[in-house]
Structure 1
Amino acid sequence: MGTLKHKDYSGTVEYNENDNCLFGKVIGMNKNVITYEGKTVEELKADFEAGIDLYLESCLERGVKPQKPYSGSLNIRIPSELHSQLALKAQMTGRSINAIIKDLLTSKQDLLNA
C-alpha cells in the first residue's frame, strides 16, 4: 500500500481487483471522511487532491476550522519502570516528560522514514 500527500494531508492507495480500480481515504481524520478513486494513478491523485481542496473550501464557506489529520497529542502505554525513569529524568533536568519523549522520538526519526 502506498500513500499520497497534499496540503499536510496523507492518504492511502489501495487496489480493488474486482472493479479494476484504485481507491483510498485520507489518513488520521476521525470526524470527517475523504475518499477518492481512479482507474489510473493520475486519476487517483487528481481525485485525492480535489477531495482535500473541496473539503477545505467547504470548511471555509461554513466558517468551520478544518480538521487536522493529527492533533499532535498521543497517549501511549509504557511499563511503570520506564515511566518512573522518565519522570526522574524530567525532574532532574527541569523538563517535562513530554519534552524528553519528543526529543527522543525526534532523534530517532530516521527509523520512521526507513
Structure 2
Amino acid sequence: MNNTLKIDGHVAVITFDPEIEMFRGEFVGLNGGADFYAYSVEDLKKEGAISLAVFLDECRNDGIEPYKTFSGKVTTRLTPERHQALAVTAQAHGVSINELLNEGVDLVIEKHS
C-alpha cells in the first residue's frame, strides 16, 4: 500500500527510495510529472508545495491543462464466474451492472480516502 500526503489540496503518493535514502513524492491526477524528494516529512511537504507551484505555473505559462481528463469509461476483464455473479447480483437487487460497479467503486474510494 502506498502512503499519500495532501499538499495544497492535491494528493501525492509517497514512497521511500532506499538507494538514495530519501522520501519521494509524486502528485497524482496531473497531466505531467511533478515529483519531489526530501529527507523528512516536513521537508517533503515544503518541496511538494514548491514542485506543485512550479508545475502549475509552467502549465499556465504554456497554456497547458494541468489536470488529466477522464472520460468516465473503464474497460475491465472479469472471469466468466465473476461476470455471472455480478450479473446475478445486479439483477437480484434491481440495478444494472454499471450501477452496481459504481456503488462498489464508491465503497473502495471511501475506504481509501
TM-score range, shorter chain: 0.5 to 0.7
* Aligned match of 1:82: 82
* Aligned match of 1:98: 98
SS in 1 for 2:67: coil
**Structure 1, unpaired ranges of 5+:** none
CA shift at 1:28, angstroms? 5.6
Q: Is the CA contact 2:29–2:67 (under 8 Å) kept in the aligned structure 1? A: no
* Aligned match of 1:33: 33
Structure with the bigger RCO (C-alpha within 8 Å, sep 6+) is: 1
Structure-2 separation of matches of 1:47 and 1:67: 20
Task: Give aligned-pair identity as a percent.
Answer: 21
TM-score by length of 1: 0.64
CA shift at 1:8, angstroms? 3.2
Structure 1 pair 105/54, CA: closer, same or farther in 2 (3 Å)? same
CA RMSD of aligned residues (A): 3.2
C-alpha deviations, 1:54-91, integer Å up to 9, x for none? 211211222111133x835543321224324545646x
Report how many aligned residue pairs link the two structures.
108
Structure 1 pair 25/62, CA: closer, same or farther in 2 (3 Å)? same
CA shift at 1:97, angstroms? 3.1
* Aligned match of 1:57: 57
**Structure 2, unpaired ranges of 5+:** none
Structure-2 separation of matches of 1:79 and 1:54: 44
